[in-house]
Amino acid sequence: MRMIDSFPSLARQFGISASLSLGLIALVSCGANNRGIPKTAGTRGNTSTSASTAALNLLNQGRTYQNTGKTRKALATYAAVNKKYPHSPSSGTASFAKAQILDSRGDLFDAFDAYQEIVSKHQGSSHYRVAVKRQEEIAHSAADGVIRNNFLGLKTKISTNRIETMLNTVRDNAPQAPSAAKAQYTVGKLWQEQGSAAKSIAAYKKVDLNYGSTGYAPEALYQTGEILVLKSEHGNQNKANVNLARNVYEEVLQRFPSHKRAADSRKRLNLLGNQDIQRSYNVAEFYRTKGQNPSAIFYYREVLRKTKSGDLYNKAKQRMAELGAR
């Protein structure tokens, strides 16, 4: 307080007015604390506007290059928009323009990735639906065999793993859409055609688990049965695979009785039953020729148990009579 009380007298000594001295006192009393001083209005809004304008200008420059046939410069400019202004509306448009250039000249893998930029980073873009649809088309074209993948129109064989990755992307981009079930089913079909039973069955199982209410579920189940039957013909666990296949076909009949695969499953079950009867008869004949009659009779009885009529039934009954069995 002594310093403040003596301040007016000091001011008179140096010729400072009383009003000025009071102002100085107020300033001293505030010290370095500027909490009461209004802040200057920030420039964040202006900066955002400036960035949007710059992004749009760069986008338009890319369009100019594209319209004049300078596609390489256009691609570089669109990439610059994505890098410098990733959150601007112009970035989504740049990604789409880039994807279309790549798509039109046959660089389908790069186009697929460019479309994915829109799907993953610009969901609000007006190009979003087109990007999703085009990705689906590219992925399924790849799964169908070979596709043109360069500007010369030459065909390139694509690895199964790469196609699976593309299909998985299509599935995950819209997991509740019909395209997801189709993509997952195509993965199973892809591995089935490549002869990979384990990967194919695993993919088909996901179809049934995640898309059981779609038309792809009975197809996936039926194809699983087909794979198991094929394994039974070439593998070491024939009986086990046949039983698994039979269970799959029966599930198709139970869950999808009106689907076209229900009739196919019924035919397969009948065929498996006939094959099973034939197998029992063949085993019985093997033991009969070896003179092992008790074993032969056992399998002839298996034939009679599995069928109540038909050629094998009659043959088995005759053999049992010949061997003195009742």
User: What pLDDT digit, counting tens, does each position of 121-179 carry?
Assistant: 999 999 999 999 999 999 999 998 756 554 444 556 688 999 999 999 999 999 999 99
Residue scoring higher pLDDT (117 or 13): 117
**Secondary structure of 126-171 as H, E, C letters:** CCHHHHHHHHHHHHHHHHCCCEECCCCCCEECCCHHHHHHHHHHHH
pLDDT tops 70 at residue 255: yes
pLDDT tops 60 at residue 213: yes
Q: What is the pLDDT of residue 240?
A: 85
The rounded distance, in Å, linking the Cα atoms of 64 and 71 is: 10
pLDDT tops 70 at residue 18: no
Q: What is the pLDDT of residue 17?
A: 44
Q: Do 55 and 84 form a contact (C-beta atoms < 8 A)?
A: yes
Query: And the tokens for 277?
Result: 């009867």
User: What pLDDT digit, counting tens, does each position of 52-110 carry?
Assistant: 899 999 999 999 999 999 999 999 999 999 999 999 989 999 999 999 999 999 899 99
The rounded distance, in Å, linking the Cα atoms of 181 and 22 is: 80
Lowest-pLDDT choice from 17-21, 59-63, 187-191, 303-307: 17-21
Q: Do 146 and 158 form a contact (C-beta atoms < 8 A)?
A: yes
Residue among 120, 73, 79 at smallest CA distance from 98: 79
Query: Which class for 266: exposed (0-12), middle (13-18), buried (19 or more C-beta within 10 A)?
Result: middle
Angle of the 216-234 helix axis to the 238-255 helix axis, nearest 10: 160
Q: What is the pLDDT of residue 19?
A: 42
The rounded distance, in Å, linking the Cα atoms of 89 and 95 is: 10
Q: What region does 69 belong to: left with phi over 0, alpha with psi -120 to 50, or beta?
A: left
Residue among 264, 280, 290 at smallest CA distance from 315: 280
The rounded distance, in Å, linking the Cα atoms of 196 and 225 is: 14
